[in-house]
Chains A and B, each alone.
Chain A
Amino acid sequence: MKKKIKYIIALSLVLISGVSCKKEYLTPVPQTVVSDATAFDTPERILGNVRSLYFNAKGGSFYAGRYIVYGDIRGEDFINETGNLVTGADVWSLNPTGTSTNSVINLWAQAYFTINLCNVTIEGVAAKGPTVVGATLTNNYLGEARFIRALCYYSLLQYYARPYADGAGSKPGLPLRLTGIKGPGFSDLARSTVAQVYAQIIDDLNFAETNLPLTNASAELNTTRAHRNTAIALKTRVYLSMQNYAAVITEANKIVSASAPFTATNPVTPGPAGVNHALQPVITTIFTTTYNTTESIFSFPMSAASGDNPGTQNQLGFYFLRNGSNPGSAEYSLNPAGIVSDSVFSATSADARKGLVFNNLTNGKRFVNKYQLPSPFLDYAPVIRYSEVLLNLAEALARTNAATADPRGLALLRAVRLRSNPAAATINAATQAQLIAMIMQERRIEFLGEGLRNNDLMRLLQTIPAKGSVPAKAPSDQGYIWPISANEMSLNKLMTDN
């Protein structure tokens, strides 16, 4: 009997310890993140995903700063002051390598990271959007995702692929990633041609134009989130890069009126009313006080919140701004032989844009003064302004009218210049070539420090002019475009280098 009790004790002890296991601890639910299974299950989560596309496109190595900086410093208008490879000395001297971490590697990675997020979001929104937010918002969001994807691909093409003009897009373009990747095993993908990538960009932007809202809820959102006109505006830039001037005119006419004052209110091609884009009377406004005017078609906003600003050595003001007690590291001064030698920037000039260049009296150097806020450098990063649409249209008109200096093209050029300089009302051009030259010069003046110079050199397959100690780079020279990221080369077995 006693023994039986002992056996019972032994057995029950074992059973007690056996049943105490906590099965639920074996499948813990993370509390600081959202599972991918439910990431698109509420309207807030879907919206959060859409915002994350913008958030990542403005990553420090991409549109918050460095993409724009590289666009400028590859051109002839800047002089490198520090020789620091971390801040683009190799980009400036047109010889970055595939292992240049801060430029070639990081820009590629950030843009593609954003592209994958776009793809993941497109799939998530398409699957769950209709039931969670309804058809209209679903389409709006898909439009935004495809707009950002188009912006990423377009931006990558400008550095990593031969211009469209070189063989009408037949040269190697980019690996075209169009499906969301959420796990390992998708490293290998060959490059599509430049033309194929451009075709995808246009397809995305056409979709965006159709599906984006005509206007967003506030002026701020009209500048910082895409709407129909944002897609159209970007198309004028894309078609210009493809030298498809007829398409530039078609697109621009959707948001530009036939004659001055040029606005989006009474466009040549009427459609439902979108955001009423127009030039601001004082150009400095859009860089110093109000970042969300109707001229700023699309800009990336900044705030002091953690992660909502460019981060160390990525800020536009850090690169371009001046010495002394003013913010910035003065990484790049303006090349005295570059565009600042234009009379617009001379001491006697009446042009308001002179005020966007700063003369450092201590060292006699001049600097771009468009981004003036101190650390943490919260100036918005401009992507596309209405004045660019006007000049894109002006150039397309000029280039398609061989007979004469296209009158509407000239009027558009005047409008841009007149805004800053009343004396410009009388500028004139006699020939097509003259008008084109004036427009090209005007772009360098108007968009100095906004990252467009590289695009303009590339699309026209022009030699990159010499500057400082850096010799000129012809389209046939090594280094005319960037090499492919060494990381991509080593991990994507189907990738080919430039």
Chain B
Amino acid sequence: MYYPYFRGKQFELLALRESATLIAESQFTPIIEPVRESLNGLARTLTSLTDAGCRAIVVVNPRHGDHRDGGESISAFLEQAYGGNDAVMAGLLLRSVGTPEAAIALIDAHRGRGEAIIHAGFTDARAIADALRDRMSSVSNVFLEDQANMLYRRHFSGSTRVLLRDGFEQKRNADYDRVDPFSDLHVTYRELGMQGYGDFLTVGDHYTEGGGPAYAVAIHLTFIDPEKDDAMFVYHFVSDSNDTPTDPAGKFAQALTKLVEMLDRGNSKLLETSAIQELRLLHERQHFPGLGYVKKLSIKHHLETLADYHRRTDA
């Protein structure tokens, strides 16, 4: 059903580990694109996930980060650690670069471990569909919405099809409005002929490495609006004094105050998740836990919000 896409940065992996039980109960399938050379964090995360009974997809040919020139070590790791365990599937990214022959060779190399093909800019749908003909029903096809149109997606009917939409618009933190639309795929994916949907969390598809000091600090929190047909929106709580890249802790406190004021008004529509409770506690203590930690809370909140939605509507 829901396929959240994670880049394997430390705080994203932590969000996954801490949400393992929720992910298992909700039958979500996280997709993880490892971006760090060391696979230790990934290994620990997969252990947490599989112990909890989750399924996961690990991208073996990442577009970004340390493995962008080749993910042989990821394939080897999956084979060695999860050779006989179909809970962890290989995710194969098909991008605009590369020939159909190379794409098919990549798919065949991971045949049998349960493949998830991620269509991210590749254009020759027919060649791939032909190669998959006799086993279409056993593969998952994940489409990046802006890079695989309906005509393209039609070639893969008969397989498990998942549509990924990046609902998170990336801007400079200082430039965000208070609220933006996020996505309605959680409501509409079946009508689009899909068996699942996904997003890039409150991080976005656009990948940055580290990045400089933050001039503004923002807390991004998603919510579902029952008055708008259950569409999802995202709040951006942004600090005020944004002229210098100093004092992130003080800026976090400014953003957090705005969030808590909104919560106190009682009509925020934010679900009272474990992340919200933790943010309330941070506000009480006036404590800044670091920017990565805040990002982790934002992701956990998003996962819990969608889990709650499906619990209510799919029952």
Q: Do A and B come from one complex?
A: no
Q: Which residues of A contact B (CB under 8 A)?
A: none
